[in-house]
Amino acid sequence: MNVHDHIVFVIDDDVRIQEALEELLASHGIHAVVFGSAGEYIDAEKPDVASCLVLDVELPDINGLDLQRQIAEGDHPPIVFITGHGDIPSSVSAIKQGAVDFLTKPFSDGDLMTAVRAAIAQDRQQRSQRADLELLRQRYARLTPREREVMPLVVSGLLNKQAAAELGISEVTLQIHRRNVMQKMVAASLADLVRIAERLEMPVTHSRRTGGSSVE
């Protein structure tokens, strides 16, 4: 694990806590960036590496839980909440919203580090998945319109003959398109293409059975 391939963001209005967490994380070899408020964090430019957000519930501008809801829409680092006086409803709400942990001050070194590491690992995984998906999307973008018509029919399991009839083209032409799709999407097999289509959340428009019965 490289020092520079991950980072921890700390948001707490108490400078003492900021300093202490920064120091503690540093002693664990983790780089931390601290903020005094949610606004500062939102406005800041953040490096594109695996990260974790250590968030105080009581903030001067908005409540930490509200911030969690606010950023839930987009991609954001997993959150570890810290609070002066934790109450059960708040912690339940935070965990439900996807927080990694909810720590009550004062917390132990172990608890914090466990949570932070888990969060970073989670983020790293999420980031890798997002990267894969992005690659697939880029490949899909290179398909011609006809190839984009062919791909859902193929992954739906239609025979070449059926797919060609569906599109009103010859089977030979369809086979050419199919081969291009397989090449462009870097699919090793039809099964691989089906998995790729799922990742892309491509809708399955035809089933072989219904398609078959209509032809027969």
Helix (H) or strand (E) holding 82: strand 79-83
Q: Which is nearer to other proteins, 104 or 173 (CB)?
A: 104
Closest CB to other proteins among 60 and 84? 84
Give every CB contact of residue 113 below 8 A, 6+ residues apart in sequence.
28
Instruction: Give the SS3 label for residue 8.
Output: strand
**Do 97 and 69 meet the contact criterion of CB atoms below 8 Å apart?**
yes
Q: Rounded CA gap, 75 and 39, in Å? A: 17
The span of 16-24, 90-98, 137-145, 184-192 binding other proteins (CB under 8 A) equals 16-24
Q: What is the CA radius of gyration of the chain?
A: 25
Among 31, 35, 43, 85, interactor with other proteins by CB under 8 A: 85
Spatial separation of the C-alpha atoms in residues 155 and 158, rounded to whole Å: 7
Q: Specify whether the CB–CB gap between 3 and 121 falls below 8 A.
A: no
Which of 20, 62, 143, 194 binds other proteins (CB under 8 A)? It is: 20
Residue from 28, 31, 124, 139 that binds other proteins (CB under 8 A)? Answer: 28
Residue 27 interacting with other proteins (CB under 8 A): yes
Looking only at residues 106 through 165 of this chain, which bind other proteins when binding is defined by CB under 8 A? 106-109, 112
Tell me: does residue 14 bind other proteins (CB under 8 A).
yes
d(CA 78, CA 68) in angstroms, rounded, equals 10
Q: Is 1 in the site for other proteins (CB under 8 A)?
A: no
Q: Is 84 in the site for other proteins (CB under 8 A)?
A: yes
Rule CB under 8 A: say whether 82 interacts with other proteins: yes
Residues that bind other proteins in the complex, under the rule CB under 8 A: 14, 16-17, 19-21, 23-24, 26-28, 58, 82, 84-85, 105-109, 112
